[in-house]
Chains A and B, each alone.
Chain A
Amino acid sequence: MSVMPRFSVERWTRAGRVTIGVALLALALLALLPGFASGLVIDKLTTLFVYILLAAMWNLLAGYAGLVSVGQQVFFGLAAYFALRLVDLGMPPYLALCLGAGAAGLTAIPLSFFVLRLKGGEFAIAMWVVAEAVRVVVMLDPLVQGETGTSLIAMNSFDPDLRRNLTFWMALCATALILGLTYWLLRGRVGAAAQAIRDDEEASVSVGVKVMRVKQIIFVLAAVGCAFAGVIWLASAITFQPRTNFGVQWTVFMLFMALVGGLRTFEGPILGAVLFFLLQEFFGDFGAWYLAGVGALAVAFALYLPDGLWGAIRKRTGVELLPTGVRMTAGEQPQSTRPRVRSQRPAKDSA
């Protein structure tokens, strides 16, 4: 899967090149994994990919473009719903899942003209209201049966092992492709422009950044990512319940993963997703108290370590495995307390 595009060499660190190499190797190994790993491992990894995808998408929005959305579950749920509808029309399940995700992602385009004109908290809550409104509309569909929900029965036509592996490969492909695309985008013009907008919208307008277009690209990509996470979740959970699939808890999880791992870094949310996955494994049985702890931990990070774990590691060691900015080697190492200052430089410098 050669999804990592080519870049101008000047902006790489040695650690960065090694990381890409390791990532591609890991990708190849993971693709072969269903050959020898147990079904349980495959299932767990599929869940982990969903978390990674969600965390990376939320970081793309909030960390890189300053768009705090409380309504990303709209794409997560809508994609699953579209897939169910397409299967109901007689489409093969996996094709329906992919098309459903694509269609749900595309709904972000008309939506973006509206919500992206809103500022800060208004955007956050408007997205939430959109998610709630869409959930209610979906519940009106007889296929969904209101609160009861439905399930993707067509999946039963596959042998359970084959189904597990197909879902795993779909999750792996989607995660790798979307993360690769995100990374490529963030290293390019759009990434630099988005960060400029996040830090000072008026100033970025004055230097010629097309604010609306840049935000739209980020918003649509994040929607597509969340939509794929939604269909992967549907494929592994089989059941669809509007309150779960459109639940705001997905945003709580995304917030936690991105914040604890480290907003504004590419690596952070992936680390956050792995941590969240482990927490879920060990403490998930505690139910509500565990979720309260997740919320409290997110608040603690927001207060005391707003750059997250990866931000702290990077500040202490200067390591950047997947740099999205420009490394300035002249003079001493920039040890800024606000690492985003460094990544704010126009990305075209070295091109």
Chain B
Amino acid sequence: MLDALIQGILLGGYYAILAAGLSLMFGVLRFINLAHGDLAILGAYLVLFGVERLGLSPWLAVLAVLPVMATLGWLLQGMLFARTMRGGFLLPLLTTFGLGAVLQNGMFGLFGSDAKSLGNSIGSLSWDSWQLPFDISLGKLPVITFVIAVIVLAGLQLLLSYTRLGRAIRATSADPEAAELVGVDAATVHRAAAAIAVALAGLAGAFLAMRAVIGPYSGPAQLIFAFEAVVIGGIGSLWGTLIGGIILGVSQSLGSLLSPQWFQLAGHTLFLGVLGARLYLNHAASRGGLRLNLKGAR
């Protein structure tokens, strides 16, 4: 039980990395990238390619893949998403969903249907753990993932708060036209945000491949998990993705104590519950509010 709790919290680190990119993209570009999970899997396959074919060490391969994914994000935004964003909310959904189908089947064609994993390449790291008192063991890989998630989120926070690019991103996400008026090139900012988001997807994919096996069609499930983490944690909040990721991870981890199917079902149920509760509160708020909720919240 306690073990499952800890596993769940650490799993939340992975979800946070995955969800941060989705959340950033939604925050800045105002659309949900339905290919986010597939981009994560693509990142994982690229890392695998670097390790297996080019003989890189796994961590070096991850470092090498990040700029590749960032470039891909930059190009996708410039050549694909920017065009669709002008067509209302419908087209970005259709386009990214279609892109997801292209990625999945393209990866199937290129890399085959075999389930693959980086587990073998990282050696003992995949099963090593630290022993703590009370019979608690902390897997090294999950801890590293969690720490990197915190570093990534802190880095993003610093970037958004203190750099020129960060200010431009915040300005553009608040009001693209006003940002243009004061000299921000919104198109470039959009491309930069997409580049960061896709690079984060790739990083998450690499961690997924270290922890588990992946296949060309693993992406959609990852997208769903990422979206669940974003919604549970609160849309548009950076640290919310970590909290949402942890809550999702814990619920899945506790669910899997029941049966493997409950791993997924617990997360889905929680997500739908949170969504329902939020709708209910909004609904109540629009009719004058639940007495207890609103004064405190505002």
Contact = CB atoms under 8 A, between A and B. Distances in A.
Nearest to B99: A299
A222 interface: no
Interface string A131-168: 01100110110000000000000000000000000000
A330 interface: no
Contacts of B104: 291-292, 295
A84 to B, nearest CB: 19
B279 A118 contact: yes
Contacts of A62: 90, 94
Interface stretch (A2-10, A86-94, A95-103, A121-129): A121-129
Number of contact residues on B: which range applies? 35 or more
Contacts of A66: 90
Contacts of B276: 114
B57 interface: no
A294 interface: yes
A57 interface: no
A124 B102 contact: no
B224 A295 contact: no
Given A129-B224, A252-B101, A303 B108 contact: no
Contact of B268 (A132, A294, A295): A132
Nearest to A199: B88
A38 B216 CA distance: 39
Contacts of A133: 264-265, 268-269, 272
B108 A70 contact: no
Given A66-B90, A306-B87, A132 B97 contact: no
A298 B101 CA distance: 10
Interface in A276-324: 287-292, 294-296, 298-299, 302-303, 306
Contact of A295 (B99, B227, B279): B99
B272 A303 contact: no
Interface string A218-260: 0000000000000000000000000000001001100110010
A303 B93 contact: no
Given A139-B261, A303-B84, A292 B98 contact: no
A21 interface: no
B127 interface: no
Given A120-B89, A295-B98, A126 B275 contact: yes
Number of contact residues on A: which range applies? 35 or more
Contacts of A289: 105-106, 109
Give the one of B34, B80, B97, B220 with max A CB within 10 A: B97
Nearest to B100: A295
B31 interface: yes
Contacts of A117: 279, 283
Contacts of B228: 129
B48 to A, nearest CB: 18
A308 to B, nearest CB: 11
A132 B266 CA distance: 12
B201 interface: no
Contacts of B26: 121
A139 B263 CA distance: 13
Contacts, number: 127
Interface in A53-98: 62, 66, 68, 70
A130 to B, nearest CB: 7
Given A129-B224, A140-B261, A296-B102, A122 B272 contact: no
B224 A125 contact: yes
Contacts of B221: 132
Interface string B54-78: 0000000000000000000000000
A291 B109 CA distance: 10
Nearest to B32: A121
Contacts of A137: 265
A263 B89 CA distance: 14
B98 A299 contact: yes
Given A125-B227, A292-B101, A292-B105, A299 B80 contact: yes
Contact of A126 (B94, B223, B269, B272): B272
Contacts of B220: 128, 248
B109 A129 contact: no
Given A121-B89, A288-B108, A128 B261 contact: no
Contacts of B269: 133
A129 B268 contact: yes
B15 interface: no
B167 interface: no
Contacts of A139: 261
Interface in B263-287: 264-265, 268-269, 271-272, 275-276, 279, 283
A244 to B, nearest CB: 12
Given A136-B261, A292-B106, A299-B95, A124 B32 contact: yes
Contacts of B95: 299, 302-303
A128 B91 CA distance: 18
B205 to A, nearest CB: 19
A303 B85 CA distance: 10
A77 to B, nearest CB: 15
B141 interface: no
A300 to B, nearest CB: 9
A132 B227 CA distance: 14
Q: Which 9 A-B pairs have the closest CB atoms?
A: A295-B101, A121-B32, A292-B105, A288-B108, A298-B98, A295-B102, A299-B98, A133-B268, A291-B105
Given A252-B101, A288-B108, A291-B104, 7 more contacts: A62-B94, A122-B275, A129-B272, A133-B265, A288-B106, A298-B98, A299-B80
